Amino acid sequence: MHVLVTGVAGFVGYHLAQRLLSQGIQVYGIDNLNDYYDVQLKKDRLALLNPQVGFRFQFLDLSDRPTLTQLFQDQNFDCVVNLAAQAGVRYSIQNPHAYVDSNLTGFVNLLEGCRHRQVRHLVFASSSSVYGANPKIPFSTCDNVDHPISLYAATKKANELMAYTYSHLYRLPMTGLRFFTVYGPWGRPDMAYFKFVKAIEAGEAIDVYNHGDMQRDFTYIDDIVEGVVRVMHQPPTSEGTAFVQQAPYRLYNIGNNQPVALKTFIEVIETALGKTAQKNYLPMQPGDVPITYADVDDLMQDVGFKPSTSIEVGIDRFVEWYRQYYS
């Protein structure tokens, strides 16, 4: 197989590329290496990918339509996995145009590339944030998601709608994956668990929003990658969809199916570090939700997999990586 992975220098993109390369799959990775968080971390991920047989990297922004169009003309991809996006819920409140350029314009450019080359399967990252403050739990892909509470969430919902439209119009197999709070080694420094570990290690206080009264469906990176790989190899057909207008399109949640209280999560981090955190209890931030909880029945039924890594195991692995990387 020849797979295009966008956002390959990112957290999930790096781990997915490593997995695919280990299976003898050719990976063509693109990334714009933006400075939303530490660029050196992205470069260090790439440094581990670049020497490997079967990997090729190109510095490319999805919003650069001419260059992306040329890439699709020059290459023949069996599958495209789109993990490139401007991430972050709170950042979208201060920097909306970054999300429009990357998550909307860039995604349409990618859809057009897939359409003109008749790519066999486009798998794209959505987010649990599309559920907004949905009071019904666990969150199901059958739930209404018309009330996002951040621009980031709105762009992810837009991605799902645009992908479905292209799937319906051009019969292109497409699968959207709603990721739930991904964590693990080589993770994103803007995520809470990363900030907690960094602060506690340095003897600094951590900010605990909503006074710790939140729950998250924390999902370990290896479980995310396993779900992506299984879905990649199973392009959807038009049959058996829940949509009135039949299309080769699917949506799945990839979450641990087991929300954890934020206070419990912090305790697990304290145990892994062998240190106690100083805590600043603060109100809920704009764009935050009180709970995320993934219904993964469809994923289990269709690809035979559900995430299962415990937070104790996952956090221990992250702390081990963190201490080694920043030593």
Among residues 14, 91, 152, 220, the one annotated as catalytic is 152
List phi, psi (to 5°) of 109.
Answer: -60, -40
The answer to whether the beta carbons of residues 54 and 30 sit under 8 Å apart is: no
Alpha-carbon distance of 180 to 224, in angstroms, equals: 9
Residue 113's closest CA among 143, 79, 85, 161?
79
Instruction: For residue 152, indicate whether it is catalytic.
Output: yes
Sheet containing 174-179: which strands, arranged edge to edge?
55-59, 26-31, 2-6, 79-82, 121-127, 174-179, 249-254
- Helix axis angle for 192-201 and 311-325, nearest 10°, is 60
Longest distance between any two alpha carbons in the chain, whole Å? 56
- For 278, counting Cβ atoms within 10 Å of its Cβ (0-12 exposed, 13-18 middle, 19+ buried), the class is exposed
The answer to whether the beta carbons of residues 2 and 24 sit under 8 Å apart is: no
List phi, psi (to 5°) of 324.
Answer: -75, -45
Catalytic residues: 152
